[in-house]
């Protein structure tokens, strides 16, 4: 093989140490002429034997069937390569120094360069999809998907909770949003790189359009290049997505807002007020009970046979309802609702909280049943049960619109004459049944409903009444019941609703006898075995006194009647002080039977208002607490509206990226190394003359030049490629690069491609 000296080739180091200009090459020339042909003429000079890299006039190279599609040397030794020994190129003193400083060549060393060239000689491009980029695309998408759900879970955990540390929570949400944006944009960007190479292979585009595709993901002005949009529509959409996906990072944090809302939590409410009437059974008035710093109060007052409680056989017996019980009951009746407790809301619910809960207790109640409804209704049955009246006493037959008998068998007070200390007066005989509860009076109540319907003219009652009247009779017995009460404290105001009452047994399970005329005889009460005695079962007796006191207070309001003989009503009862009377008409309410039960329950529940009552206790119950507060409000729809769109778009473009990779047969990129490898084309070298600095403005005619990525025309000769370390000479090895449309052909998958045709070694 001809050596480099014979052919006019020298190393860069030799050229830098030449003795100066030689012969015709020393002639002066215009440095402003920077065209490729001008530079070629300067290199060739006056020596007709020196060849041009464009004309292929080197006979020695022609004889070797060399490929003239590119110069045989690298840019680092181009001037030496084109210099003949007899016509050396003059090199300025500055150029004789190493570019990288003293002691180093421009490519580290010539030997390093030669070794790299030798090592790369004959290499063939490898087909196949390397795992790294597909993995990155999938992992980035999955990370974005997971972060979106993490963002949702984070905001959902805040929803409805007090709006504390708002700035910190918004920052966390923004971090989630930007992480989703970064990962999804990264996944689309990697897929976009695969797509543009797919487009480059299939359609020739101008340099301007190619520039746009390479820079679209980082320069939004590229979208003004119509040819890019027209020639690579899907790739352009993918690039646009990398700019639009970040909008989700703006919308998603806004899905968490704050506002005044009802905060609710299920918990255990401590110190909830409840009722325990059994405490009355153990109370001894001689021993004060301190509650909440105050002396406890019973529902009943007692007399006694021995105030000192030392006489054998002494006992206490019932006197009357206590003043506190009467005061609380009257307040409830007049307010037409249970008395509101003071500070109970704070104790039960907590400061600034509302709460609801259900409580259970055993207490007294009136069990009512209807006996008659309508004129002449159930007269015989009423007579058989010795009812104190029938419907004939009620309008329209009678004059009464309300009547009651509620004291048959009432406990006598006083039982015996007593002194100031509550003991029987001296020499007063003490009956065996002193203080005994023989019965609890039954409530016999009759009333008339004014329907306001006009009375027919032929009615026998038309002379007195103008509307249809319906008389009703019912009775109520005093029972012990198990109550279930729903309590609702809202803004400090309680509301109690009895949702269930289970009747247990009559408080005193006896009944009145009958006189010979069939009326009730209060002096005959049977069976006597069911009397509640004061000196036998003391706890039961004292519990009965508590029930009796509350019942007696109610009965005092119900006793009497309302006469409507005149055109106006005449009241002989305190029932008008209660909610049982319609104050507009002075007729009883239509549902009087139920209303009597509710009125009694109002009195019972009012006991919760005074913590001094012995029956008023505290307990712990499950409750639901609520309050109006500034809380986080998560609008999941707003979050997922943005995320769903960007996730769907990203997934679609990831699929496009994988299809492009499969079609390309390789994984591609847009980094410098890939651009360097895919632009090795002498035609591009010729087109690029005068633009090596890459400066703006770029030549307009070059920007319009259409290029395509494909296979350049194959050359015959000493080409070849390496297979398992063995050089196969003389084979056709195609080269893939950007080129003009007429010089490039389609890339065939799995076919061997290398680079520029392998050149023979020199020297």
424-456 pLDDT, tens digit each = 988 888 898 999 999 999 999 999 999 999 989
Give the range of the structural domain holding residue 651, as residue numbers without chain letter: 123-276+632-667
Global pTM reads 0.60
Listing DSSP states for 726-746 in one string gives EEEET---B-EEEEEGGGEEP
Q: What is the pLDDT of residue 762?
A: 36
Taking Cα atoms as reference points, which of 315, 366, 662 lies closest to residue 503?
366
Lowest mean per-residue pLDDT among 102-106, 160-164, 645-649: 102-106
Q: Note whether 291 and 146 are same-domain residues.
A: no
pLDDT at 599: 96
Specify whether 458 is located in the same domain as 508.
yes
DSSP assignment string, 195-210: HHHHHHHHS-EEHHHH
Residue 582: inside a domain = yes
Q: pLDDT grade, residue 271 (50/70/90)?
A: confident
Same domain, 136 and 262: yes
Q: Within this chain, do residues 636 and 584 fall inside the same structural domain, yes or no?
A: no
Residue 518 Cα to chain centre, angstroms: 73
- How large is the average pLDDT for residues 500-515? 94
761 burial type by CB count under 10 A (0-12 exposed, 13-18 middle, 19+ buried): exposed
- Asked whether the predicted pLDDT for residue 528 surpasses 60, the reply is yes
Q: What torsion, rounded to 10 degrees, do the Cα atoms 393, 398, 402, 403 define?
A: -30
239 belongs to a structural domain: yes
Q: Residue 428 falls within a domain, yes or no?
A: yes
Judge if 227 and 301 occupy the same domain. no
pLDDT for res 3: 41
Residue 50 has pLDDT above 70, yes or no: no
Lowest mean pLDDT among 372-386, 505-519, 676-690: 676-690
657: exposed, middle or buried (Cβ count in 10 Å: 0-12, 13-18, 19+): buried
pLDDT single digits (tens) 570-610: 999 999 999 999 988 899 999 999 999 999 999 999 999 88
Structure tokens at 74: 């690298």
Task: Give the helix/strand (H/E) hosting 687.
Answer: helix 682-687
The pLDDT value given to residue 411: 95
Q: Are 160 and 263 in contact (CB under 8 A)?
A: yes
Quick one: which of 175, 183, 190 has its CA closest to 146?
183
Neighbours of 728 (CB within 10 A): 14
Write out the H or E segment, with its range, that includes residue 471: strand 467-490
pLDDT tens-digit map of 634-692: 888 888 888 988 999 999 999 999 998 888 888 888 888 888 888 888 888 888 888 88
DSSP string computed for 366-410: EEEEEEEESTTTTHHHHHHTT-S--GGGBTTTSSEEEEEE--TTP
Q: Is residue 230 part of a domain?
A: yes
> Last residue of a domain, which of 582, 614, 646?
614
> Tokens for 248?
């989700």
Which of 416, 463, 266 has the alpha carbon at shortest distance from 353? 266
**Among residues 160, 162, 627, which one has the least CA distance to residue 353?**
627
The C-alpha angle with vertex 590 and arms to 589 and 593, in degrees rounded to 5, equals 85
Are residues 563 and 696 located together in one domain of the fold?
no
Query: Regarding beta strands 736-740 and 744-745, do their DSSP bridges make them parallel or antiparallel, or are they unpaired?
Result: unpaired
Tally of domains in the chain:
3
Q: Specify whether 646 is located in the same domain as 685.
A: no
| 41 falls within a domain | no
Comparing CA positions, the residue from 694, 616, 592, 643 lying closest to residue 368 is 592
The 3-state DSSP class for residue 99 equals coil
CB 607 within 8 A of CB 613: yes
DSSP assignment letter at 442: P
What's the pLDDT score for residue 108?
A: 54
For residue 40, what pLDDT band results from cuts at 50, 70 and 90?
very low
Helix H or strand E segment including 15: helix 12-16
Q: Name the strand (E) or helix (H) holding 326.
A: helix 323-335
For 214-253, the pLDDT digits (tens) are 888 888 988 888 888 888 899 899 999 999 888 877 777 7
Distance CA 349, CA 257 (A): 28
Give the DSSP H/E element, type plus range, for residue 570. Answer: strand 570-573
Question: Does residue 580 or residue 70 have the better pLDDT?
Answer: 580
Residue 574 domain flag: yes
Mean pLDDT, the chain, rounded, equals 81
Same domain, 243 and 325: no
Residues 245 and 314 in one domain: no
Collapsing DSSP to helix, strand or coil, 458 comes out as coil
Q: Where are the alpha helices (DSSP H) in 45-109?
A: 59-63, 78-81
Mean pLDDT of 111-134: 77
Question: What region does 128 belong to: left with phi over 0, alpha with psi -120 to 50, or beta?
Answer: left
Question: How far does the chain reach from its first CA to its final CA, in angstroms?
Answer: 8
Read off the tokens for 707: 């290029």
Do 636 and 567 lie in a common domain?
A: no
Within a domain: residue 295?
A: yes
Whether the predicted pLDDT of 507 surpasses 90: yes
326 with 236, same domain? no
User: 115-129, 240-254, 556-570, 616-630: which has the minimum mean pLDDT?
Assistant: 115-129
Burial of 20: CB neighbours in 10 Å, binned 0-12, 13-18, 19+: exposed
For residues 136 and 179, membership in a common domain is answered with yes
E strands in 171-310? 205-206, 256-275, 290-291, 294-295, 300-304
In a domain, 95, yes or no: no
């Amino acid at each position: 093989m001809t050596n480099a000296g014979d052919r006019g080739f020298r190393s860069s180091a030799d050229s830098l140490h030449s003795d100066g200009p030689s012969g015709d090459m020393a002639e002066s020339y215009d440095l402003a002429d920077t065209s490729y042909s001008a530079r070629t003429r300067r290199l060739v000079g006056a020596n007709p034997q020196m060849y041009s890299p464009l004309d292929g006039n080197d006979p020695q190279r022609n004889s070797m069937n060399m490929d003239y599609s590119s110069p045989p040397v690298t840019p680092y030794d181009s001037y030496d390569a084109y210099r003949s020994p007899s016509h050396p190129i003059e090199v300025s003193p500055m150029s004789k120094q190493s570019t990288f400083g003293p002691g180093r060549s421009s490519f580290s060393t010539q030997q390093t360069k030669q070794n790299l060239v030798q090592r790369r000689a004959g290499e063939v491009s490898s087909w196949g999809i390397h795992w790294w980029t597909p993995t990155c695309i999938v992992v980035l998408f999955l990370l974005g998907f997971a972060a979106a759900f993490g963002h949702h879970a984070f905001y959902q955990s805040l929803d409805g909770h007090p709006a504390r540390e708002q700035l910190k929570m918004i920052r966390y949400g923004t971090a989630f949003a930007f992480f989703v944006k970064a990962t999804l944009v990264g996944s689309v960007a990697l897929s976009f790189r695969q797509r543009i190479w797919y487009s480059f292979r299939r359609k020739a585009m101008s340099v301007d359009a190619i520039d746009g595709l390479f820079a679209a993901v980082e320069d939004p002005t590229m979208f003004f290049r119509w040819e890019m949009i027209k020639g690579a529509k899907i790739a352009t959409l993918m690039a646009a997505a990398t700019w639009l996906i970040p909008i989700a990072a703006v919308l998603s944090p806004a899905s968490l807002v704050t506002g005044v809302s009802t905060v609710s939590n299920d918990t255990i409410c401590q110190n909830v007020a409840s009722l325990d009437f059994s405490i009355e059974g153990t109370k001894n008035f001689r021993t004060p009970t301190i509650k909440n710093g105050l002396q406890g109060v019973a529902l009943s007052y007692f007399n006694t046979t021995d105030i000192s409680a030392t006489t054998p056989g002494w006992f206490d017996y019932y006197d009357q309802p206590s003043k506190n019980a009467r005061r609380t009951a009257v307040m409830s009746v007049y307010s037409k609702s249970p008395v509101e407790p003071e500070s109970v809301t704070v104790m039960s619910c907590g400061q600034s909280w509302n709460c609801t809960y259900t409580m259970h207790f055993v207490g007294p109640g009136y069990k009512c049943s209807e006996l008659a409804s309508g004129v002449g209704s159930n007269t015989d049955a009423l007579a058989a049960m010795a009812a104190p009246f029938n419907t004939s006493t009620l309008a329209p037959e009678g004059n009464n619109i309300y009547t009651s008998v509620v004291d048959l068998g009432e406990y006598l007070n006083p039982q015996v004459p007593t002194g100031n200390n509550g003991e029987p007066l001296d020499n007063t005989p003490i009956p065996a049944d002193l203080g005994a509860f023989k019965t609890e009076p039954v409530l016999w109540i009759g009333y008339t409903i004014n329907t306001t319907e006009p009375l027919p003219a032929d009615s026998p009652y038309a002379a007195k009444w103008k509307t249809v009247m319906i008389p009703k009779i019912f009775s109520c017995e005093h029972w012990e019941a198990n109550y279930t009460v729903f309590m609702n404290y809202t803004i400090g105001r309680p509301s109690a609703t009895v949702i269930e009452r289970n009747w247990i047994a009559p408080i005193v399970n006896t009944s009145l006898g009958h006189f010979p005329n069939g009326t009730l005889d209060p002096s005959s009460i049977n069976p006597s075995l069911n009397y509640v005695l004061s000196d036998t079962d003391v706890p039961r007796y004292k519990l009965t006194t508590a029930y009796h006191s509350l019942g007696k207070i109610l009965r005092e309001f119900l006793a009497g009647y309302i006469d409507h003989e005149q055109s106006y009503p005449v009241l002989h009862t305190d029932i008008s002080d209660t909610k049982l009377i319609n104050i507009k008409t002075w007729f009883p309410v239509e549902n009087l039977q139920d209303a009597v039960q509710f009125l009694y329950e109002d009195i019972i529940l009012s006991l919760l208002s005074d913590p001094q009552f012995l029956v008023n206790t505290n307990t712990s119950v499950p409750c639901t607490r609520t309050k109006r507060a500034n809380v986080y409000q998560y609008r999941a729809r707003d979050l997922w509206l943005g995320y769903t769109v960007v996730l769907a778009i990203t997934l679609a473009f990831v699929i496009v990226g994988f299809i492009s990779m499969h079609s390309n047969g390789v994984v591609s990129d847009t980094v410098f190394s890939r651009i360097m490898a895919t632009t090795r084309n002498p035609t591009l070298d010729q087109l690029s003359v005068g633009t090596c600095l890459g400066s703006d403005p770029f030549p307009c005619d070059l920007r319009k030049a259409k290029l395509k990525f494909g296979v350049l025309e194959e050359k015959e000769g000493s080409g070849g490629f390496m297979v398992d370390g063995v050089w196969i000479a003389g084979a056709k090895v195609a080269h893939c690069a950007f080129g003009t449309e007429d010089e490039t052909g389609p890339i065939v998958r799995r076919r061997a491609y290398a680079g520029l045709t392998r050149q023979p070694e020199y020297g």
